[in-house]
Structure 1
Amino acid sequence: MYSRPPNNIEFVKQLVKRLYNYEVKQIKELNGADDRNYYLVTNYEKEFVLKITNTVEGSVPGLLDAVNSFILLLHNNGFRVSVPQVNANGKYLSYEEIPSPDGQSVHESPLNTAYGVRLLEFISGKLLRDVPFTPQLLTECGQVLAHMTIAIQTFESQVISKRRPDWSLLNVLAVRQYIDAVHNQEDRDVVSATLDEFERTVMPILDELETNLIHGDFNEMNIIVHNNPNEHPDNEYHVKGVIDFGDIHYAPRVFDLAIYLCYSMLFFTAGPPILAPAFGLKGYMKSIKLHENELNVLCTCIKARFCQSLVLGAHSYRLDPTNVYVLSSAKNGWPAL
């Protein structure tokens, strides 16, 4: 599992001044499973997110540069994304040693590599999680995912082509080693049965499923929405932007859809949660027609993502009880599974 950077607010302020020549007027730590993310208001009322990446991903040569290039590709294709900002050295990325808040030690990765630091554009609005999951909005999110899937296929990176993030569904069977973090025996049994199903029905046909570059974490915490009446007279919430591209990798494209449909069930109130995936699937298939083998495994992949999210969340919380964000899916996730 990843080692998160220490939470040193005062050092972050100094870092922003040194690297970007901005005075931090307001700072607030945002949610993050593995990284540290800070919302900043600087002089001239400019808003940013400072992202300090965990030791594992930060130590992979060229990975964060490739992620930056990926974000810029989406930006150039008209998507509203959190664009990286150039620092004082003319780069989108720097590596910095982060001292602990008490100033007595410096936290470094096992490879003696400092943490990756990036300043990203802040996209105002609300997280999808914080607004009603209406059929219209879930359908639109499915459309955005499909459009993004099509746009990113021109992107090429040897670094990305070789990676397999811990949270990839390609690694879902590995959660078996952490299942003891789940206290309820009935829940453990459901997870075991789902993983067995995935191993039996999905793994043997991986080479037959269409593989693309995928976002890898298209969920309610990474989709920004707004209800600007000047743009949308219907006064409904609409997708404004997409954030957090730290899990991009090559995998069956049905995995990306399954991940989104999984999380779409968490806060759906227009009916039983089991109905929610139908709306996202409807939006997605307006632009991308799934093959029969993809449709056959879609439900299993949705359930597998629930297992991955719930078990890894429980395991991460066991390691760091202060990081309650990793339990964000638990309350509604277990009943949905």
Structure 2
Amino acid sequence: MLEKKPKFSVDQASDILKRLYDVTTSKINPLPSYDDQNFYVLSTNGKEYVLKIMNSEDSQNPSLIELQTYAMSFLHENGIPAQTATPTVTGQLMSLEELDCGCGQQKYLVRLLSYLPGQTISKVPLTPQILFEAGKMAAKMDKVLQKMDHPNIRELDRDGFIWSLSNLLVLEKYLYVLDGEPLQKVVQSVINLYKLTIVPKYTHFRKCINHGDFNDLNVLVQPDNNGCYTISGILDFGDMNSGFYIHELAITIMYMMIEHPNPIEVGGAVWRDGRVNYLSMKPRGQPVRAGHVPLLSVSSFCSLFCSYAARERGVSDDNVRKGVQILQDIWTLGQQHVETIWFQSAEKYCASK
């Protein structure tokens, strides 16, 4: 079986840049990526870019990648710090290249994206202020995306996509990978509770387009003049899907919890000023309880674990180790207790504003 992740050398990447974009490199370095291959590029004229070479599997769906590229541009035009694509010398925003990078001849979608300054949020202390900024940015991003239209918009329905919280029940077919693990019973309990309390509420949640992967490595921050941090970039739109505002909130909380020394405290800070955006209901609908958020957050952990165990996606061992402990802690404390902690901390943060 051919390996789907590209493994191009720096020289090969430089050749691609020159041939497709007429960019001559002054400096080029590999950047981390789970499934794709990224290079930091400094051109001889001083411009900075990121060369992104998609894995061969995702490259088979150019319609989805085209939509993701458009979404990034749409967000950028509406004040969200997202990357934009540089056209090739023939005016295309992406190019499907059939190349051999040591894994056999395969097709890879190539884009040259703008470079965003900053460091990942995982590198800075997760103060209540930056957690609030993360929650606020996630909500703002989803509100902007709700206005977006595109001929390929239905690509975001993504039935069966394991990283969409709308498809959480798909995880049941992956439970076998946790055979013999105590975690399996917890994951099954989460799925059962999701069926009982979340699925019947679908019609009352506000729909939107989710980024779906608002994690600690996809959020860039920069220091401001007040000794705090502001969000300077949102990366990686590969998990975009049709979902709900409350899903984005839960995913954001889940990933911020992994990086925080006191994970249970994270929830209230992230959603303190986002409640109107996240928890609003349809006219004459039933209220969406804040208690749904802890359940959806632990549901996100379940997606992480099942994907890791099934090797569906590169997930770090450290994130899984931390995630297992957080999930067990939340499950032990109980959903209502965690809800109370988050609600009280949100009220405290709001009062301090």
Provide TM-score, normalisation by structure 1: 0.86
Gaps of 5+ in 2: 282-286, 328-353
Pick which of 68-77 and 173-182 moved more: 173-182
Contact 2:139 2:245 in 1 (8 A): no
Name which of 234, 238, 242 aligns with 2:226.
234
1:212 to 199, 208, 211: 208
Q: Give the equivalent residue in structure 2 for 1:313.
A: 308
Distance 2:278 2:321 in 1: 32
Deviation at 1:309, TM superposition (A): 1.2
State yes or no: 1:160 paired with 2:160.
no
- The letter of the residue matching 1:280 is V
**Partner residue of 1:225?**
221
| CA drift at 1:180 | 4.2
1:88 aligned residue:
89
Q: 1:274 aligns with which of 243, 246, 264?
A: 264
Q: For 1:76 and 1:84, how far apart are their aligned partners in 2? A: 13
Deviations for 1:212-241, whole angstroms, at most 9, x for unmatched residues? Answer: 1121111211110011xxxx3221222112
Give how far 1:31 is off: 2.8
**Secondary structure of the structure 1 residue equivalent to 2:133:** helix
How far apart are residue 288 of structure 1 and its match?
A: 5.1
1:248-259 alignment to 2 at 5 Å? Answer: 248-259=240-251
Counterpart AA for 1:191: V
Q: CA deviation at 1:95?
A: 0.4
Match of residue 343 from structure 2: none
Task: Map 1:23-42 onto structure 2 (within 5 A).
Answer: 23-42=24-43
- Residues 1:130 and 2:123 aligned together: yes
Matching residue of 1:15: 16
Task: Give the distance between the partners of 1:181 and 1:29, measured in 2 at CA.
Answer: 33
- The residue that corresponds to 1:329 in the other structure is 319
User: 1:113-152, aligned counterparts within 5 Å?
Assistant: 114-152=107-145
Q: CA deviation at 1:199?
A: 2.2
- Corresponding residue for 1:106? 105
Which residue matches 2:70?
Answer: 69
Partners of 1:294 and 1:87 lie apart in 2 by 48
In structure 2, relative to structure 1, the CA distance for the partners of 1:61 and 1:23 (3 Å cut) is: closer
Aligned to 1:111: none
- TM-score normalized with structure 2 length: 0.82
Q: CA deviation at 1:61?
A: 4.6
Question: In the alignment, residue 332 of structure 1 is paired with which amino acid?
Answer: K
- CA–CA distance in structure 2, aligned partners of residues 262 and 156 of structure 1: 29
Query: Is residue 301 from structure 1 mapped to residue 296 from structure 2 by the alignment?
Result: yes
After superposition, the CA RMSD in angstroms is 2.4
CA distance in 2, matches of 1:190, 1:304: 10
User: For residues 77 and 334 of structure 1, do their structure 2 counterparts lie closer, same or farther at Cα, with a shift above 3 Å needed?
Assistant: same
Q: 1:295 to 1:158 in 2, by over 3 A?
A: farther
Distance 1:288 1:174 in 2: 24
Partner residue of 1:203 out of 177, 199, 202: 199
CA contact (8 A) 1:160 1:248 kept: no
Which amino acid counterpart does residue 119 of structure 2 have in structure 1?
K
> Quick check: 2:82–2:235 contact (8 Å CA) kept in 1?
yes
Q: Distance in 2 between matches of 1:92 and 1:328?
A: 36
Distance change in 2, residues 1:31/1:198 (3 Å): farther
Distance 1:207 1:174, change over 3 A: same
Q: Structure with the greater relative contact order (CA < 8 A, sep ≥ 6): 1 or 2?
A: 1
Matches within 5 A, 1:175-190: 175-182=171-178, 185-190=181-186
Residue 182 of structure 1 and its aligned partner are, at CA, apart by 4.2
Instruction: Give the letter aligned to residue 120 of structure 2.
Output: L
CA offsets, 1:93-116, max 9 Å, x none?
1101131337xx302xxxxxx221
Identical counterparts, % of pairs: 26
Cα distance, 1:283 vs structure 2: 3.4
Aligned residues: 317
Give the aligned partner of residue 246 of structure 1: 238
With over 3 angstroms needed to count, the CA separation of the structure-2 counterparts of 1:184 and 1:138, relative to structure 1, is farther
Deviates more, 1:24-33 or 1:6-15: 24-33
Letter of the 1:119 counterpart: L
Bigger shift: residues 170-179 or 190-199 = 170-179
- Which amino acid is the alignment partner of residue 81 of structure 1? A
Match of 2:191, SS state, is helix
Q: Is the 8 A contact 1:145 1:284 kept in 2?
A: no
Question: Per-residue displacement from partner, 1:229-283 (whole Å, max 9, x unpaired)?
Answer: xxx32212221121111222211221111100111111213xx311101100113
Unaligned 5+ runs, structure 1: 108-113
Offset of residue 168 of structure 1: 0.8
